[in-house]
Amino acid sequence: MIDFTTEQLQRYSRQIILKEVGVEGQEKLARARILIAGAGGLGSPAALYLAAAGVGHLTVVDADVVDLSNLQRQIMHQTDDLDRPKVESAAEILRAVNPEVRIEAVRERLCAANISGIISGHDFVIDGTDNFPAKFLINDACVLAGLPLSHGGVLRFGGQTMTVLPRRSACYRCIFRNPPPPEAVSSCSEAGILGAVAGMLGTIQAAEAIKHIVGSGTLLTDTLLQFDALSMDFRKIPISRQEDCPVCGTHPVITELQDIDWPTCPTGCAT
């Protein structure tokens, strides 16, 4: 059992007094290793809340540098951070929020060749990436590695998320077989996003990660949560594992990871 210091007990007191977290849950959080893919609009709130909650180890993966257009929603980065690698400014603010958390900054773009090595050794993965190939790659890699994952996506005023416990609940590919053709996806000029909407979704993902680590509540497994912040309607869509899922089905065709060619937005309409 961890002997928490007086300062630690005080720092985490408001969640330790929750029956569903408690001292035992705080210990589980302190021992947990969570990976956040993307230090953007979803990864920022998720990482900030996970650091504040006392998750022992956070790995943040992102290859980009901070752009002025990111600051409207990517709240780990500040005006002074322009042109800095996002993982650097992320590591700095996360350490400032909670010096007890070990932060690993990985300045790489996840791809078939590196993802298995990068996600290995973690307890949970938060997908905060901004493109379909990355989302499918993260899903496939997590399913193959048996790693729980929170999928998330936002656009304009809407968001959707689901939590995947590989081979126990529906995965992203059970529902969405392949990335949509590029022409079916909104062009960058149409792909606005309200910062607060990214914040809503990223915090849901952080809450799912914490619930999974402490073992409390009901996860968004076999459930796609969608919301529209304009009407503030939330709906849960029941989903289920598909026998013919190419990655977690009975006869999987995806047994090793492959990169998906897909044109990326040149102006960087990142989440």
Task: Look at residues 38, 51, 33, 36 and name the one whose alpha carbon lies nearest to residue 97.
Answer: 51
**What are the tokens at 154?**
């936002």
What is the DSSP track for 28-82? HHHH-EEEEE-SSTTHHHHHHHHHHTT-SEEEEE---B--GGGTTT-TT--GGGT
Place of tokens 């290793």: 33
Choose which of 7, 14, 83, 251 interacts with other proteins (CB under 8 A): 14
* CB 215 to other proteins: min, Å: 15
**Applying CB under 8 A, does 16 fall inside the site for other proteins?**
yes
Among 17, 188, 196, 230, binds other proteins (CB under 8 A): 17
Give the nearest distance from C-beta 25 to other proteins in angstroms: 10
Task: Select 9 or 196, whichever has its Cβ closest to other proteins.
Answer: 9
Q: Which phi and psi angles does 216 have, rounded to 5°?
A: -120, 155
| Binding residue (CB under 8 A) for other proteins from 1, 96, 113, 184 | 1
According to CB under 8 A, which one of 5, 7, 24, 214 is a site residue for other proteins? 24
Say which amino acid occupies 85: P
Q: For other proteins, which stretch binds (CB under 8 A), given 20-28, 39-47, 85-93, 173-181?
A: 20-28
Note whether 113 binds other proteins by CB under 8 A: no
Question: Does residue 13 interact with other proteins by CB under 8 A?
Answer: yes
- 251 touches other proteins (CB under 8 A): no
Residue 9 in the binding site for other proteins (CB under 8 A): yes
Q: How far is the CB of 216 from other proteins (least distance, A)?
A: 13
Task: Select from 19, 117, 231, 263 the one that contacts other proteins (CB under 8 A).
Answer: 19
Least distance to other proteins from the beta carbon of 165, Å? Answer: 26
Tell the smallest beta-carbon distance from residue 100 to other proteins (Å): 17
CB atoms within 10 A of CB 28: 20
The answer to whether 23 contacts other proteins (rule: CB under 8 A) is yes
Which among 90, 61, 88, 92 is positioned nearest to 75, based on CA atoms? 90
> Of residues 188, 245, 248, 269, which has the active-site annotation?
188
The answer to whether residues 55 and 81 touch, using CB atoms and an 8 Å cutoff, is no
188 is catalytic: yes
| 108 touches 94 (CB < 8 A) | no
At residue 78's C-alpha, the angle toward residues 227 and 60, to 5°, is 65
Q: Which of 10, 186, 240, 267 binds other proteins (CB under 8 A)?
A: 10
153 contacts 179 by C-beta, under 8 angstroms: no
- Rounded CA separation 190/151 (Å): 22
Give the footprint of other proteins on this chain (CB under 8 A): 1, 4, 9-10, 13-14, 16-17, 19, 22-24
Which residues form the catalytic set? 188
